[in-house]
């Protein structure tokens, strides 16, 4: 029961934050909030709403934020059994992650032969 109450609270807070950002004309921030909000939609069984929110976020965000939205979209699509769409979302996410990776590699990245 406690986790259910936490999800209800998270859904309410994220929905409110998204609405406030939209009212303030801050569409970018509203799309950023849409990514965790989509998970809450998924938990509630609203798969179509989760997909719509993530597709909008992925299309509006840039760089690593867009890549993150695409990864979340791929996971939701997979859970919905939409395998072809899942693979397309993974491909878009990988392209976005590759485009957004740092120009200099951190020390812990393996060197190429």
Domain locations in the chain?
2-100
Classify residue 45 as exposed, middle or buried by CB count within 10 Å of its CB (0-12, 13-18, 19+). Answer: exposed
Q: What is the mean pLDDT of residues 4-16?
A: 81
- How far apart are the C-alpha atoms of 48 and 112, rounded to whole Å? 42
Question: 32 in helix, strand or coil?
Answer: helix
pTM over 0.85: no
pLDDT class for 1, splitting at 50, 70, 90? very low
- How far apart are the C-alpha atoms of 7 and 4, rounded to whole Å? 5
User: For residue range 92-106, what is the model confidence (pLDDT) as tens digits?
Assistant: 888 888 887 655 555
Q: Are 93 and 108 in contact (CB under 8 A)?
A: no
Question: 82 in helix, strand or coil?
Answer: coil
User: For residue range 14-66, what is the model confidence (pLDDT) as tens digits?
Assistant: 999 999 999 999 999 999 999 999 999 998 899 999 999 999 999 998 888 88
The CATH label, of 3.30.565.10, 1.10.3720.10, 1.25.40.10, 3.40.50.300, for the domain at 2-100 is 1.25.40.10
């Amino acid at each position: 029961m406690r986790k259910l109450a936490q999800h209800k609270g998270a859904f309410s807070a994220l929905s409110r934050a998204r609405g406030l950002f939209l009212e303030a004309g801050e569409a970018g921030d509203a799309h950023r909030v849409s990514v965790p909000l989509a998970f809450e939609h998924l938990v509630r069984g609203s798969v179509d709403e989760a997909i719509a929110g993530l597709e909008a976020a992925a299309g509006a965000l840039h760089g690593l934020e867009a890549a993150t939205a695409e990864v979340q979209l791929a996971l939701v699509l997979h859970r919905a059994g939409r395998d072809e769409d899942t693979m397309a979302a993974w491909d878009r996410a990988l392209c976005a992650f590759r485009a957004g990776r740092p120009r200099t590699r951190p020390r812990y990245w393996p060197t190429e032969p």
